[in-house]
Amino acid sequence: MSNKTLRIGFVGAGCVNFGRWNVSWDHASRLERLGGFQVIAIVDPDTDKAEQVLKTRQTSQHGGFYKDCVVLADIADLIRMHPDAVFIGVPPVARGSLQQNKDLELQCVKAGIHVFMEKPMSVLPLVKFQPYAAAIQKAIEEAKVVLSVGYMFRYHAAVMKMKELMKQHGGKVMSFNARYYYAYTEMTNIYWYNAELSGGPIVEQATHFCDLARYIVGDVDLATVHTLMLDSDDRSGAGHIAHVPLGAEDGIPPRKKIPRVTVSHWRFADGGLGCLTHSIALPGVRYEANIDVQLDGLKLSLIEPYQDSCILRVRNMEKGRRDEDRDFTFEGSDSYSTELKTFMEAVRTNDQSVIKSSYADAVKTYELTWAIRLSGEQNFRA
Ligand SMILES: NC(=O)c1ccc[n+]([C@@H]2O[C@H](COP(=O)([O-])OP(=O)(O)OC[C@H]3O[C@@H](n4cnc5c(N)ncnc54)[C@H](O)[C@@H]3O)[C@@H](O)[C@H]2O)c1
């Protein structure tokens, strides 16, 4: 494999690329641990913010990765510098569209630049998004570039173990049940509270669990998706939340506020049933996420995949232990790092086949999240 130093650019100087409040779980920090690259530019229309980010990086122990890095306001200027790869981490309302200046991924792919892009794909409804997706797909085939979408749980050691155990079992999934509870009272991105900017909680956040449903079980029969939502202005008052931080909902009319609870269910193309619950109610900053998958005589519970203390709890047909749980733990395993390492290797070898989340596949997850959202909006209870 080539060990060429890759020339990379970051698009977006925000949280996912560079962290926040000195929390170093971001892509730049993980790449710095991997090495093998030079950052040639950071692009952000908020150039003051990007300059600050660059200064912090240059004066850190990893400053060598940024020694010739410049700040740019427009992705077109980065493309003219011919980077090997770009990392696109900007809000979905600013990309994923044929609209001028929002075709960030398309500009890069057309220029033959490898792309790592964050989820979700866009905020556009499917009918408006599909021409963009088709243009990207065509450009990927023509330019033969690697593109990876940031569904990092596909690289999670526990998810890999689940797939291994399911393969050994050999049977069909009977049920998939995901629960994702957002902790909302402290840390937040303001735009996230406005569905027009974020796509809403399923398109933007629970998309990771919709993606895992598809990755673990398979495609969903979208015609079977049925959703109920508890809206902010539900006449019962049950949708009222009193601790939204930073005035994030000020000025947003009640009908445009994001739903507080979303419960959706569906049938997989393979026959099994799926279910997702998302809520905005927990205090603090610690989200809760759990998934149960059941096959005949096998239950796999993925407990808190965001945490280092994640557990995969397994109950199976082992003689004498059929009423017992067996726990697998994965301390030190970091799905974001594995995802980025895989991308960098794929770029060096120009090998899309090692990428677990391609553009075409992620489009299907986007379709599922919109099917969930639209069904909930149709079943709106005034
Ligand atoms: N995979 C994950 O776990 C994960 C985690 C966090 C965020 N994300 C995703 O990453 C994306 C960005 O989220 P964030 O939390 O970093 O947002 P953020 O608001 O912290 O930062 C986004 C930055 O993008 C900049 N920006 C806007 N338009 C731009 C453009 N045209 N060109 C360059 N920069 C532009 C903004 O000025 C801002 O600085 C979102 O799609 C989000 O869903 C994924």
Domains of the chain plus CATH, in order, are 6-151+339-358 (3.40.50.720), 153-333+364-378 (3.30.360.10)
Nearest C-alpha to atom 30 of ligand 1 is from which residue?
44
pLDDT for residue 152 is more than 60: yes
Average pLDDT over residues 16-22: 85
| Residue 188 in contact with ligand 1 by CB distance below 6 A | no
Q: SS3 for 96? A: coil
CA of 120 to the centre of ligand 1 (A): 10
pTM above 0.75, yes or no: yes
* 19 Cβ contact partners less than 8 Å away, ≥ 6 residues apart: 25, 26, 28, 29
Q: In 313-358, which residue ranges form alpha helices assigned H by DSSP?
A: 335-349
pLDDT of residue 24: 64
What's the burial of 294, exposed, middle or buried (CB within 10 Å: 0-12/13-18/19+)?
middle
pLDDT of residue 202: 98
Nearest C-alpha to atom 7 of ligand 1 is from which residue?
16
Share of the chain above pLDDT 90, in %: 91
CA of 116 to the centre of ligand 1 (A): 13
User: Per residue in 175-229, pLDDT tens?
Assistant: 999 999 999 998 677 888 988 899 999 999 999 999 999 999 999 999 999 999 9
Instruction: Please name which of 199, 191, 263, 275 lies closest in space to residue 230, comparing C-alpha atoms.
Output: 263
| Residue 92 in contact with ligand 1 by CB distance below 6 A | yes
90 vs 254, higher pLDDT: 90
Average pLDDT over residues 254-279: 95
pLDDT of residue 271: 97
As a 3-state breakdown, the chain gives helix, strand, coil percent values, each rounded to 5, of: 40, 25, 35
CA of 104 to the centre of ligand 1 (A): 13
pLDDT of residue 382: 56
State the Cα–Cα distance between residues 202 and 195, nearest whole angstrom: 10
Q: How does the average pLDDT of the chain come out, rounded?
A: 95
| Residue 150 in contact with ligand 1 by CB distance below 6 A | yes
Question: Sorting pLDDT into bands at 50, 70 and 90, what band is 49?
Answer: very high
Average pLDDT over residues 88-113: 97
What's the burial of 163, exposed, middle or buried (CB within 10 Å: 0-12/13-18/19+)?
middle
CA of 14 to the centre of ligand 1 (A): 5
pLDDT of residue 254: 78
pLDDT of residue 256: 81
**Which of 21-25, 50-54, 202-206 has the least mean pLDDT?**
21-25
pLDDT for residue 93 is more than 60: yes
pLDDT of residue 3: 81
pLDDT for residue 162 is more than 70: yes
State the Cα–Cα distance between residues 57 and 31, nearest whole angstrom: 12
pLDDT of residue 187: 67
pLDDT of residue 381: 67
CA of 12 to the centre of ligand 1 (A): 6
| Residue 274 in contact with ligand 1 by CB distance below 6 A | no
pLDDT of residue 22: 62
User: How many CB atoms within 10 Å of residue 378?
Assistant: 10
Question: Sorting pLDDT into bands at 50, 70 and 90, what band is 25?
Answer: confident
Instruction: Please name which of 187, 306, 312, 202 lies closest in space to residue 244, comparing C-alpha atoms.
Output: 187
Q: SS3 for 241? A: coil
CA of 214 to the centre of ligand 1 (A): 25
Identify which of 43, 118, 149 to mutate to test ligand 1's pocket (most ligand atoms within 8 A of the CB).
118
Identify which of 43, 44, 155, 197 to mutate to test ligand 1's pocket (most ligand atoms within 8 A of the CB).
44
CA of 166 to the centre of ligand 1 (A): 35
